[in-house]
Amino acid sequence: MVVRIRRALSSATLLLCGLSLCPAAAHGDDTIGTDGYVHVAPNGVVLGVDPYYPADGNGGYDVADYAVDLSYDPAARFLNAKAVVTATTTQRLSRFNLDLRGLTVTSVKVDRVPASFVRRGEHELVVTPATTLATDTSFTVEVVYCGRPQPEYTPRGATGWRTTWSGGAVAAGAPHSASTWFPVNDTSADRATFHLDADVPAGWTVVSTGVRKSIHKGLQSWVEDTPITPSATMIAIDRFTVRESTLPAGTAVVDAFATGAGTALARNLPAVMDFLTGKLGPYPLPSTGGVYLPDRLAYSHPSQGRPVHGGAAGQAALVQALASQWWGNQLAIKMWKDQPMVESFARYLVWLWDEANGGSAIEQRYQDALRRVGADARFWGRKLADPGVGREFSVTDKGVLMVHALRKHVGDEKFFTVLREYPEIAVLLNQGWYDWELYTAAVADKDLTAFHEAWVHGTTLPPAELR
């Protein structure tokens, strides 16, 4: 039955959950790409822009690849870079936008021909090619830029490019990390491959997402051939000690330790990966590992294939960051209000790991948590399906309880089908709460409306029969 459900849902997901770009008629000129990514259902219903960050992403094209060629001087904290964006038009385009925060753009070319450009707002780079681009046409945009990248400050801490204690730099975080250091279509709905060539002074090392392809003097190259969301990209520059190894399953491991960072956490990675692949299936990437800094980071960022951990990161952070490679990177969200969906499951995998390694039984942990919060209106009043702008990562303490309640409600067999197979069938199909609700009901083969309304959309303590 599991195989039959999986095949049926794979087809259903393709039909129900695809995304396209809405033509930019709102501008009064249907050749101008929107300055926010507009989600459109396959049936033509306009879902709109991300309600939390309506200017994120852009319309009129889909990106296939980013190729960033940069040099960075740690002493001056100065970046010189050229990015080549390869994309395909989804409409005729006389003008379109990219997202880039700060930094000085010195030239833009479209298909190697100089294009005019202006900066608008806090992150819009508006490009006008010399000639209008036809629909369904591949094109390239070359952007040359420079400056001192700056972080963006969010309720959960700094994200994007920041200087490390040792004088290096790291760019990681969500929701707006990528646009602090390269021009991007900054929406999770537009995944692309990623290539990085980085030139740094002698003694400095560059670590990024993907697979390291070459090191020649100061020039270091990384390639991510698995399409990646912008917020899952990462770059780190430091005087790293780099350790390479291979897991028993053949997955390459690249760990990078900045001066002062401990190595104990990284030693747990093989055991955690063995546990997670047992629960979630084969690791979806060719390489794993981590970047370990002594800095006080607000959180460990689950960059694709290579999470970034600060000095305070512990075992739970490692497990959650690696679990997010399935629930968060392979299965990526549509809009930022959907973030609690993947985050809650990644956190539940920490609970599973703890229980399997001598920690508290999950049911006891769940009951203890329910007793602690009681009917606290502040706790239950946060809606999982819509936590509010800036609070996308703030409700997983409620979300992890929802995940265990779902397990109790549908039974272990069907729950672990959801846990393992939803990320697998959703490869390159970004998912939201609505899609997840359809999927869980199909796997459970029962009406879960009351459960979803109480736990996902509700703002009060769910009734006893759903706990």
Predicted confidence at residue 299, as pLDDT, reads 85
pLDDT (0 to 100) of residue 287 = 95
In 3D space, the residue among 383, 418, 393 whose CA is nearest the CA of residue 336 turns out to be: 393
Residue 43: the pLDDT is: 62
Q: pLDDT, tens digit, for every residue of 101-153?
A: 999 999 999 999 999 999 998 899 999 999 999 999 999 999 999 999 999 88
DSSP annotation of 338 reads G
Query: Residue 458 falls within a domain, yes or no?
Result: yes
Answer yes or no: is 6 within a domain. no
Q: Is residue 259 part of a domain?
A: no
78: containing domain: 20-238
pLDDT digits (tens, 9 = 90+) for 175-207: 889 999 999 999 999 999 999 999 999 999 999
- Of 184, 207, 238, the last residue of a domain is 238
Classify residue 447: in a domain, yes or no: yes
Contact partners, residue 28, CB within 8 Å, separation at least 6? none
Q: Which of 238, 258, 289 is the last residue of a domain?
A: 238
- Of residues 72 and 17, more confidence is placed in 72
Residues 52 and 186 both lie in one domain: yes
Q: In what order do the strands lie in the sheet with 169-172?
A: 152-154, 157-163, 169-172, 235-238, 205-208
- Let me know if residue 14 belongs to a domain: no
Task: Tell me, yes or no, whether 276 lies in a domain.
Answer: no
CA 358 to chain centre: 31
What's the domain count of the chain? 2
Q: What percentage of the chain carries pLDDT values higher than 90? A: 83
For the chain, give the number of residues. 467
Of 180, 208, 238, the residue at which a domain comes to its end is: 238
Please give the pLDDT value at position 66: 98
CATH code of the domain covering residue 206:
2.60.40.1730
Residue 402 pLDDT more than 70? yes
Q: Are the CB atoms for 94 and 87 separated by under 8 Å?
A: no
Contacts of 221 (CB under 8 A, 6+ apart): 195, 196, 197, 198, 212, 213, 214, 215
DSSP bridge pairs for 89: 61
pTM of the model: 0.91
Q: Does a structural domain hold residue 434?
A: yes
Residue 450 lies in a domain: yes
